[in-house]
Amino acid sequence: GLLLAIETSCDETSVAVVRGGREVLSNVVSSQIDTHRKFGGVVPEIASRKHVETMTIILEEAVREADVRLEDIDAVAVTQGPGLIGALLVGVVAAKSLALALDVPLIGTHHIAGHIYANSLIGDILYPSVALVVSGGHTEIVLLEEEGKFRIVGRTRDDAVGEAYDKVARALQFPYPGGPHVDKLAQEATEEVALPRSWLEPDSYDFSFSGLKSAVLAEINRSRMKGETPDFSALARGFQQSVIDVVTGKAIRAAKEFGARQMMLCGGVAANRGLRERLAALCEEAGVPLLVPPNKLCTDNAAMIAAAADLKWRRGQFSSLDLKAEAVMSLEDWSV
């Protein structure tokens, strides 16, 4: 069957048409980054308005590109949460209208389940599986004992990785979103400033990045106080190495403890080259196959929402038309 999916949780308006949960016929993404950049971050009110302006166009484009007719759509999926409430609402209203007009089932979908199941678009997921979710708003280690059953074994206690990247990037005078700039600078660096690793309790899979971010800011201030120019590239490298050590270290430990047959890397920060390379090396060493979606499927897009929604569709688990957008939403409770 044909599933049409809508994603509007943050600053990307996206609509995809996916056949049989795997075959992406179209995945149109309209990013608002240029609009938000001048404010140094996503402005929620502007995001909602932009989604309203863009939705119809993107919807038509996705259907046209998929080369199907709207009447051929068999179900409609939408990101229900978590995310910016005003932004989510635009997608939810569009999805409900469409489901009602076409008289097809509606599937409210969890955004992070989408980031994880983006991996099902590139390969077969083997269970038990461990997903390392690193995005702008989330940093989590998720255990999937079986398909569609989510258990969060570790999460950040303060900033998400992407958020820490963006904050450090700002201190290094890069525009929003700064993650890719810090990544590039770190790759090119020849020196490295030693920064702390936040391992927390020995058996914990949780994360904390605010101390690391503060350490970067403190280094910059210290240099300036001494009348020196801070070495931004050495700082970027130190920051990136600390992040990579901790997230990959914990993900691998989880994979071993839970006997994972598969590791999945997902979320926007999965685009980070240093992170991909290190995790690939560690997985190889541990004999655990690694799935990493291409960048286009790592950042927010509707095809990943279709991939997750397919879990519920196949089981006949639909949402009612009074579905509500949820700014905060439990991944575990969304399990099939």
Which residues are known binding-site members for Fe cation? Answer: 111, 115, 300
Does position 179 interact with ligand ATP (CB under 6 A)? The reply is yes
* CB proximity list for 204: less than 8 A, separation 6 or greater: 154
Backbone angles phi, psi at 144, to 5 degrees: -115, 100
Dist. CA 152–CA 143, nearest whole Å: 6
Give the residue numbers of the binding site for substrate. Answer: 133-137, 166, 179, 183, 272
Check if the beta carbon of residue 140 is closer than 8 Å to that of residue 152: yes
Does position 12 interact with Fe ion (CB under 5 A)? The reply is no
135, 208, 233, 241: which one contacts Fe ion (CB under 5 A)?
135
Q: How far is the CB of 135 from Fe ion (least distance, A)?
A: 5
Check if the beta carbon of residue 58 is closer than 8 Å to that of residue 30: yes
Q: How far is the CB of 12 from ligand ATP (least distance, A)?
A: 7
Please report where in the chains the tokens 């998720």 appear, as a residue. 142
Does position 270 interact with Mg ion (CB under 5 A)? The reply is no
Dist. CA 291–CA 280, nearest whole Å: 9
Q: For the stretch 183-196, what's the b/e string if a residue is b when 16 or more beta carbons lie within 10 angstroms of its beta carbon?
A: bebbeebeebbebe
Does position 269 interact with Mg ion (CB under 5 A)? The reply is no
Burial-class residue 31 by CB neighbours within 10 Å (0-12, 13-18, 19+): middle
* # chain residues binding Fe ion, by CB under 5 A: 2
Q: Interface mask (CB under 5 A) for Mg ion, residues 7-46, using x and -?
A: ---xx-----------------------------------
Does position 268 interact with ligand ATP (CB under 6 A)? The reply is yes
Q: How far is the CB of 134 from ligand ATP (least distance, A)?
A: 8
Q: Interface mask (CB under 6 A) for ligand ATP, residues 72-111, using x and -?
A: -----------x---------------------------x
300, 301, 326, 334: which one contacts Fe ion (CB under 5 A)?
300
Q: Identify the CA nearest to 134 among candidates 302, 290, 296, 298.
A: 298
Q: Which stretch binds ligand ATP (CB under 6 A): 57-65, 69-77, 123-131, 172-180?
A: 172-180
Cβ–Cβ contacts within 10 Å for residue 228, how many?
9
**Of how many residues is the chain composed?**
336
Q: How far is the CB of 243 from ligand ATP (least distance, A)?
A: 8
10, 75, 279, 302: which one contacts ligand ATP (CB under 6 A)?
10
Q: Which two tokens stand for residue 246?
A: 């901790």
The residues that touch Fe ion, with contacts defined as CB under 5 A, are 135, 300
Residues lying near Mg ion in the complex (CB under 5 A):
10-11, 300
